[in-house]
Structure 1
Amino acid sequence: MPAVPQPPISAPQNFDEYCAQKAAPAGSSAYYALRQAPASRQPFLTALFALRRELEETVKNTSDPTVGRTKLAWWQKETAALAAGQPSHPVSHALARHSADIESEAPMLRTLVAGFEMDLDQARYLDFPNLARYIERVGGAFAGAVARATARQAQHADAWAAPLGNALMLAQFVQELGNDARHGRIYLPIDELQRFGVTAAEIVNRKYSPAFSELMRFQTNRAREALHTALAGIPAAERPTQRTLKAQAAMALALLDEIERDQYQVLHQRIALTPIRKLWIAWRAARKR
């Protein structure tokens, strides 16, 4: 199979701009969350978010699993090259430029790519423990890297940041259920669908029902409780350092409330907060002790 072309490499001064456009366009939740971080760390965090978006788009925008695996294999090589100080992609260049020790993040980089590789191997999960393996790779591991970027004691960040990253993934599954189904993936465990009497076909065909509402109430409550628990688990000394993660969590909680008020109508539309509301929520959450 011929090599899968990658995006052209921009001039060095455009690496940061590329990452900002990829990860945090104006008005997006990521835009407001990243703006809460210290100015000196925003470029690195934006590059991290851009990497995650690159991997996510690789999976979602590729209909042929073989092509998807080829692209992710390229990313595995690229993240190894990045850790070795030989980046070639704009996002990798930005990460290398803004990290004092990108080699130390090599395990996270491998875990993140491996997490998205799971999307090419399965589109459904039998139960929550199986889904948790995916969540921990694409959510928890990533949040650990975000936390380390600004933490006072980076070596301990994974213990309290990973649960928050996992909780953010649960909230994302609620918001993106309809969109994910259109891409052939349902991140709600099969045994939970069966428990509430909802079929995958009903989700794909955007069929609402009392049973679906009960299923989504359960999913929403679980995500909300996980977010509150994870936020409470951030050590007091680290709360001032974690403005980006706290802003993300606050916007996720507000969005879950909005989805609940809209009676879980997430199959045919993507419910979102307005930019001005995101700005206010992110600003307030970032400064909350």
Structure 2
Amino acid sequence: MTPDEYCAQKAARPGSALYYSLRFLAPEKRRAATAIYAFVRESQEAVRDCSDPDVARARLAWWRMETLQAFQGKPQHPVAQALAQVATHYAFPQEAFQAIIDGVESALLAAGFPDFKALQRYCHRVGSTPAVLAAEVYGYRDPRTLKFAHDLGFALQLTDLVLDVGAAARRGRLTLPEDELADHGISIRELASPPAKAGIGQFLSRQIERCDQLYTQALGELPLVDRRAQRPALALAAIGRALLDEIRGDPAQVLTALIDLTPLKKFWIAWRTWNFG
């Protein structure tokens, strides 16, 4: 398996949102964008199911060194090898990938987010940073497009956290603001062990509303001149909003169910976005 094939298996499997969002992109750009998101996935998975914090930190330290090797030497991991092949061409800043690892590590050390500001810092590192890198790959003429990418990455990351809140709670982690959860009288145990109490639906509806606001803000920031180039990002946004629509009527279903769209629906959304914007 080549590094590019490994990255595709890791981050853009057939049927995934990223697969369809990048489906119509030029192959060289698709490989570069896939490598970015595979790096994010590898960083997160390095610690996701690790019960020993010291082992998790050691894994992230290894990834820090592997990132250095991707830019300066001979990386061992296929994701780092794929990055090494595209980093120079797209002038990726090494610091951006270190920032992604910083975000993963910050969530690991805190085991949650005490408030929205802490959650925002995490999303900016792990969601916005790769989205801005991907926007560089897709291409732009107006620098305001990078602000669009930054805010869209935040919206997409927060959407993922909302959809994953139940599974994360069962792993002993809280992916949404603790103070807001406390305001609704909800504990992490109640997220992990439904049936859901009354306040959970209201709490999750607030998070959905927040995601909606972020999508609206980001989409309003995209200059018209770059709309065509940024169609992969727009397709991801459309799929993310469609996922929110799936839970809007019953937000508490995210506590027990894996929410997803059918591959056909994702394909249709991506095709419509690519052809009609």
For the superposition of Structure 1 and Structure 2, which TM-score range results when normalised by the shorter chain?
Answer: over 0.9
The equivalent residue for 1:232 is 220
Q: 1:217-228 counterparts in 2 under 5 A?
A: 217-228=205-216
Displaced runs of 4+ in structure 1, greater than 6 A? none
Deviation at 1:85, TM superposition (A): 4.4
- Which structure has the highest helix share of the two? 2
1:59–1:119 contact (8 Å) kept in structure 2: no
Q: Does 133-142 or 28-37 show the bigger shift? A: 28-37
Q: Hey, what's the Cα distance between the residues in 2 that align with 1:155 and 1:89?
A: 33
Uncovered stretches (5+) of structure 2, i.e. residues with no partner: none
Q: 1:50-61 counterparts in 2 under 5 A?
A: 50-61=38-49
Question: Which digits, 9 at most, give the CA deviation of each residue in 1:6-34, with x for residues without a partner?
Answer: xxxx6xxx111111111111111121122
Q: Hey, what's the Cα distance between the residues in 2 that align with 1:68 and 1:233?
A: 37
2:70–2:84 contact (8 Å) kept in structure 1: yes
The equivalent residue for 2:196 is 208
Deviation at 1:157, TM superposition (A): 4.5
Deviation at 1:264, TM superposition (A): 3.0
The equivalent residue for 1:170 is 158
Deviation at 1:275, TM superposition (A): 0.7
Q: Does 194-203 or 59-68 show the bigger shift? A: 194-203
Root-mean-square deviation (Å) = 1.8
1:78–1:88 contact (8 Å) kept in structure 2: yes
Once the two structures are aligned, what percentage of the paired residues are identical?
38
Deviation at 1:174, TM superposition (A): 1.3
Of 37, 48, 55 in structure 2, the residue corresponding to residue 67 of structure 1 is 55
1:56–1:116 contact (8 Å) kept in structure 2: yes
Of 95, 99, 114 in structure 2, the residue corresponding to residue 126 of structure 1 is 114
> TM-score normalised to the size of structure 1?
0.90
- CA pair 202-269 structure 1, distance change in 2 beyond 3 A: same
Deviation at 1:81, TM superposition (A): 1.5
Determine if the alignment matches structure 1 residue 149 to structure 2 residue 146: no
> TM-score normalised to the size of structure 2?
0.94
- CA pair 18-238 structure 1, distance change in 2 beyond 3 A: same
The equivalent residue for 1:80 is 68
SS at match of 2:172: coil
User: Which letter maps to 1:64?
Assistant: D
Of 205, 219, 232 in structure 2, the residue corresponding to residue 244 of structure 1 is 232
2:144–2:221 contact (8 Å) kept in structure 1: no
Of 190, 200, 218 in structure 1, the residue corresponding to residue 178 of structure 2 is 190
Deviation at 1:213, TM superposition (A): 0.8
Question: Which digits, 9 at most, give the CA deviation of each residue in 1:124-181, with x for residues without a partner?
Answer: 2221112111111001111110111122248654322111100111111111111111
Q: Hey, what's the Cα distance between the residues in 2 that align with 1:263 and 1:49?
A: 27
Deviation at 1:103, TM superposition (A): 5.5
- CA pair 119-60 structure 1, distance change in 2 beyond 3 A: same
Of 252, 259, 264 in structure 2, the residue corresponding to residue 271 of structure 1 is 259
- CA pair 263-128 structure 1, distance change in 2 beyond 3 A: closer
User: Which letter maps to 1:192?
Assistant: E
Determine if the alignment matches structure 1 residue 92 to structure 2 residue 80: yes
- CA pair 21-38 structure 1, distance change in 2 beyond 3 A: same
The equivalent residue for 2:24 is 36
Question: Which digits, 9 at most, give the CA deviation of each residue in 1:53-104, with x for residues without a partner?
Answer: 1111112121211111111001111111212243221111112223444653
Deviation at 1:268, TM superposition (A): 1.1
User: Which letter maps to 2:267?
Assistant: L
Q: How many positions carry a matched residue from both structures?
A: 277
Uncovered stretches (5+) of structure 1, i.e. residues with no partner: 1-9
Of 246, 255, 260 in structure 2, the residue corresponding to residue 258 of structure 1 is 246
The equivalent residue for 1:111 is 99
Q: Hey, what's the Cα distance between the residues in 2 that align with 1:36 and 1:172?
A: 23
Q: Hey, what's the Cα distance between the residues in 2 that align with 1:236 and 1:59?
A: 40
User: Which letter maps to 2:181?
Assistant: L
